[in-house]
Amino acid sequence: MALKEFNVKNAYCKSVWEDVKVRYADQEHFLQAAGLVLETLSPVVDTMPELEKTAVLERFLEPERIIMFRVPWTDDQGKPRVNRGFRVQFNSALGPYKGGLRFSPEVNLDVLKFLGFEQVLKNSLTTLPMGGGKGGADFDPHGKSDAEVMRFCQSFITELYRHIGADTDVPAGDKGVGGREVAYMFGQYKRITNQFTGVLTGKGLDFGGSLIRTEATGYGLIYFAQCMLKAAGTDFKGKTAIISGDGNVAEYACEKINEFGGKVLTLSDSTGYILDEDGIDAEKLAFVKQFRSERKKIDTYLTKYPKAKFFKGEKPWGVKADCAFPCATQDEIFMEDAKKLVANGVKLVAEGANMPTRADAIEFLQKNDVLFAPGKAANAGGVAVSGLEMSQNSERLSWTREEVDEKLKRIMTNIHDNAYATAKKYAPSKTVDYVSGANIYGFLKVARAMAAQGLV
């Protein structure tokens, strides 16, 4: 995939960018994430010469530690299998490393480095005391039995346990890692260490999990979008939305949009998308949740709602709507998709997934006055409630649904307001530049902490 030419203006940012570009020429996703951040940091780095003196940017772009290991396990036929496991401990300036584990065939160091790098800024934006990290394995849980998934998770943790801990590094779920996988990993960690601690988040409610954690990313995304709409003088009432994905993020985003008076037209998975012009209401969404839990594909929707349409192998970005929420994975919206979104009247794009929009497509959307929210701000609700789960574990208390939801709402509103004000200050433009606002606000706290803690 072609890398966008980033316009990195500040001389220090530029020299670090040129160096990173050569050193990690084979890590295209990491470079895209880093390039976009360096492009937007220039106005603030201009005012902080002390950053260069303490090599803050060089350190900021280099993970503190990367752990790579083999994960041997046995399948149900008794055949030995071997996968590759990773944990990228990117930055601990603000707190223990924090971020999900992804089990998916596409996992490699490039993908995990971009996710870890984004996580550092995302976690900073939440204002909770969390550093950033990401990990996972090139293991595909689809089509595996529960027993195979359990043996894989146990083997994965048998190596990773020595590198993580409630005050060191607290993994959670991500694509391919849900409640089942977190529970298996937690069980194995407890067994090896003989300690019941908050070492993972996204745990089951019976053993230290937090209410609202499952819903948090999707709810948070829509709370954030609601703030964007409010700042633009409008709201969700009567608005149409297209959503990609059919996982937790997509489903709970759909639920919240319905609650706020909007209408969701699409959901998708790797096989294609469904379009329901009447809207995917609560009853229809319950059906999606049910067939998804049976691991059935998205076209199952038509068995109950035959008026809907299924578009095989296609993405929903050509559907006319007011708002778009990419909630599947990275690389969903390319330039040709961005053009379709603009042509179809989409006025707001907020990322539920991590980096689903390519950098050139972001630029095109912003130039065409589409309000664009990057994932590190808009999808921070998931890790924010993970942070709240860590607090509850430390206190050995659990908060009510209302308490957690209220805190989530407050955190998302703060992220919005901070990104908005920072954008106005450093990157004033007609359409609010939430990309610059989020990058700069997230970076400043990490940079100050890194500078204060010395050359480590």
Which residue's Cβ has the minimum distance to ligand GLU?
100
Q: Cβ of residue 99: shortest distance to ligand GLU, in angstroms?
A: 5
- Burial class (CB within 10 angstroms; exposed 0-12, middle 13-18, buried 19+) of 314: middle
Kindly state whether residue 99 participates in binding ligand GLU, applying the rule CB under 6 A.
yes
Nearer to ligand GLU, 300 or 391 (CB): 391
Q: Could you say which of 4, 134, 256, 315 is catalytic?
A: 134
- Of 96-104, 148-156, 331-339, 438-446, the segment contacting ligand GLU by CB under 6 A is 96-104
Q: Cβ of residue 221: shortest distance to ligand GLU, in angstroms?
A: 11
- Of 19-27, 92-100, 307-315, 363-371, the segment contacting ligand GLU by CB under 6 A is 92-100
- Of 288-296, 341-349, 379-387, 444-452, the segment contacting ligand GLU by CB under 6 A is 379-387
Both tokens assigned to 215: 């819903």
Scan residues 145-174 and list those touching ligand GLU (CB under 6 A): 172, 174
Q: Cβ of residue 83: shortest distance to ligand GLU, in angstroms?
A: 19
Of these, 116, 131, 374, 382, which contacts ligand GLU (CB under 6 A)? 382
- Of 34-42, 154-162, 382-390, 431-439, the segment contacting ligand GLU by CB under 6 A is 382-390
Q: Cβ of residue 307: shortest distance to ligand GLU, in angstroms?
A: 35
Q: From CA 51, how far away is CA 393, in angstroms rounded?
A: 36
Nearer to ligand GLU, 154 or 201 (CB): 201
Q: Cβ of residue 346: shortest distance to ligand GLU, in angstroms?
A: 24
**Identity at 441, one-letter amino acid code:** Y
Terminal alpha carbon distance of the chain: 34
Nearer to ligand GLU, 98 or 256 (CB): 98
Kindly state whether residue 100 participates in binding ligand GLU, applying the rule CB under 6 A.
yes
SS3 220: helix
Nearer to ligand GLU, 201 or 266 (CB): 201
Nearer to ligand GLU, 63 or 262 (CB): 63
Nearer to ligand GLU, 255 or 389 (CB): 389
Is there a contact between 248 and 331 (Cβ–Cβ < 8 Å)?
no
Nearer to ligand GLU, 10 or 354 (CB): 354
SS3 261: coil
Q: Cβ of residue 387: shortest distance to ligand GLU, in angstroms?
A: 8
Kindly state whether residue 87 participates in binding ligand GLU, applying the rule CB under 6 A.
no
Whether 134 is a known active-site residue: answer yes
Of these, 29, 59, 98, 358, which contacts ligand GLU (CB under 6 A)? 98
Residue 122: which of 430, 441, 423, 451 has the closest Cα? 441
Nearer to ligand GLU, 35 or 176 (CB): 176
b/e per residue 341-366 (b: at least 16 CB within 10 A): bbeeebbbbbbbbbbbbbbbbbbbbb
- Of 311-319, 323-331, 378-386, 427-435, the segment contacting ligand GLU by CB under 6 A is 378-386
Q: Cβ of residue 29: shortest distance to ligand GLU, in angstroms?
A: 14
The β-bridge partners of 349 are 324, 372
Q: From CA 46, how far away is CA 339, in angstroms rounded?
A: 34
Q: What contacts 24+ positions apart, CB below 8 Å, involve 304-312?
A: 305/276, 307/276, 307/277, 307/278, 308/274, 308/275, 308/276, 308/277, 309/274, 309/275, 310/272, 310/273, 310/274, 310/275, 311/272, 311/273, 311/274, 311/275, 312/271, 312/272
Strands (E), 179-307: 240-244, 263-269, 272-275
Both tokens assigned to 279: 């809207």
Q: From CA 75, how far away is CA 152, in angstroms rounded?
A: 9
Scan residues 200-219 and list those touching ligand GLU (CB under 6 A): 201
Q: Cβ of residue 71: shortest distance to ligand GLU, in angstroms?
A: 19
Q: From CA 69, how far away is CA 216, in angstroms rounded?
A: 31
Scan residues 169-188 and list those touching ligand GLU (CB under 6 A): 172, 174
Could you identify the residue written with the tokens 């006319």? 320
Could you identify the residue written with the tokens 């509850």? 392
Scan residues 344-373 and list those touching ligand GLU (CB under 6 A): 354
Of these, 8, 128, 383, 435, which contacts ligand GLU (CB under 6 A)? 383
DSSP string, 339-375: HHHHHTT--EEE-SSSS-B-HHHHHHHHHTT-EEE-H
- Of 238-246, 267-275, 380-388, 448-456, the segment contacting ligand GLU by CB under 6 A is 380-388
Is there a contact between 105 and 138 (Cβ–Cβ < 8 Å)?
yes
> Interface with ligand GLU by CB under 6 A: which residues?
98-100, 122, 172, 174, 201, 354, 382-383, 386
What residues are annotated to the active site? 134
